[in-house]
Homo-oligomer: A and B are copies of this chain.
Amino acid sequence: MHIEHPVVPSPVDQAFLARLADRFGAQCQTGQAVRDQHGQSEAHFAPMPPDAVVFARSTQDVVDLVDLCRGAQVPIIAYGAGTSIEGHTLAVRGGVTVDLSEMTRIVAVNAEDFDCTIEAGVRREELNLHLRDQGLFFPIDPGANATIGGMAATRASGTNAVRYGTMREAVLSLKVVTPDGKVVVTSRRARKSAAGYDLTHLFVGSEGTLGIITEVTLRLHPIPETISSAVCGFETLRGAVDTVVQAIQLGIPLARVEILDDMQMRAVNLWSKLDYPEVTTLFFEFHGSPAGVAEQVELVGELASANGGGDFRWSNLPEERAKLWKARHEAYYAAVNLRPNAVGWATDVCVPISRLPECIEETKKDLATASLPATILGHVGDGNFHVVFSLDPDSAEELAEVESINTRLVERALAMDGTCTGEHGIGLGKQPWLLRELGDDAVGMMRAVKLALDPDNLFNPGKIFAA
């Protein structure tokens, strides 16, 4: 099921680069270091650098770049923070990477409407710093300090999705530059609309293949009156998963509930210099009124205790909470660095919650036979979990071994009516599985939409579907 991505000769020539330099001056860079930086990913894929990188500062910059690229039939790849782990930003066919990380303007915060409009390069942590004084926050949190534009493009979610939804629920409207260089705003700011096709959701998760997002209008939430975090170790993996499934089925509005298996806890302790017991552990966060949080905590405590959970270790002060979640957020890097000089391969499935205990337990059994370190962690309240492998980049055997474990994992999830990716996206890594998950006709429909909107296949070519 492995797809080869042959490197096609890039159509970029000196005349085209001169036109870019002419229009963009120092915003256009072609040095090897910048190209290399934009041509690598945080995962195991081979580097594929673009021919040039343009640092956009406005929607008009993106329009002009798209017009230049279309004129010369040059591919164009949108780039935010570069934190995706399915190879989304790799320049499979060369071309120009448009780096949106300098587009960091907060266009408007409408506190009374619980929404804001920001440029695509704003990162989620900076957005939350900006919002804090107004008593608001933006809940979607994929771990990495990603750009909001990138999070929209990949339909990101993360630790808070169990309570607040994913980028699918969070994005109210987008400003997008289309392959024909038009600027489209996909929706008005009203909280709901039945006006025509849902272009907003067509772009959320389209991975830069249909348009380049330059502004995002987001739903916001009031900062909860009470926030309380805790960790709890369990005797068994099954006990931890059952606790979460039972809490969800009781309708307890958990704000976050993360699982980290014993191996992942070992990695976290090493990486973040902590001293948690190295057993399967749940990280919880509770949001609400003081009484509401107390009620949730009591119910969850009873469930944990009945499922072999130990005592809750509480982190109620903001700095303690920050330390706890920083450890969780760095779990990927911690897992990769279980071996020196390793690269990461993070895979990601999501199943209906009732199937989660079985899916995660079978996966754990499968990992027990692996010859390299692998951890399980994830957003179990959604039925979503990850396996992270710490991979020797020079070992073809390890690559093949991981590929076959990953195959079994995705097949297991699909057999349970799950998806091959809960939140990482298709990118390069999950293309064969998209076909298996939804079938040729559904993917054919996606391809028809792609062809209709990007007939020259210049927007992030080779992603979602093979080139």
Contact = CB atoms under 8 A, between A and B. Distances in A.
Interface of A: 110, 112-115, 154-157, 161, 165-166, 168-169, 178, 182-199, 201-202, 204-206, 210, 222, 245, 249, 251, 289, 291-292, 295, 350-354, 382-384, 413-414, 417-426, 430, 433-434, 437-439, 441-446, 448-453, 464
A373 to B, nearest CB: 25
Contacts of A205: 194, 196-198
Nearest to A162: B191
B185 A154 contact: no
Number of copies: 2
Contacts of A187: 419, 438
A190 B414 CA distance: 10
B110 A442 contact: no
Give the 10 A-B residue pairs with the shortest CB-CB distance, closest first: A201-B201, A452-B452, A193-B419, A190-B350, A182-B441, A112-B354, A189-B417, A194-B425, A113-B352, A448-B452
A190 B351 contact: yes
Task: Determine which residue in A198, A245, A445 has the highest number of CB atoms from chain B within 10 A of its CB, and name it.
Answer: A445
A445 to B, nearest CB: 6
A47 B419 CA distance: 45
Given A445-B184, A448-B452, A197 B190 contact: no
A439 B352 contact: no
Given A193-B419, A445-B453, 20 more contacts: A113-B352, A113-B353, A155-B193, A157-B192, A166-B192, A178-B445, A185-B439, A188-B437, A188-B438, A189-B352, A189-B417, A191-B350, A193-B422, A194-B422, A195-B434, A196-B205, A196-B438, A202-B202, A449-B453, A451-B452
A178 B444 CA distance: 11
A190 B419 contact: yes
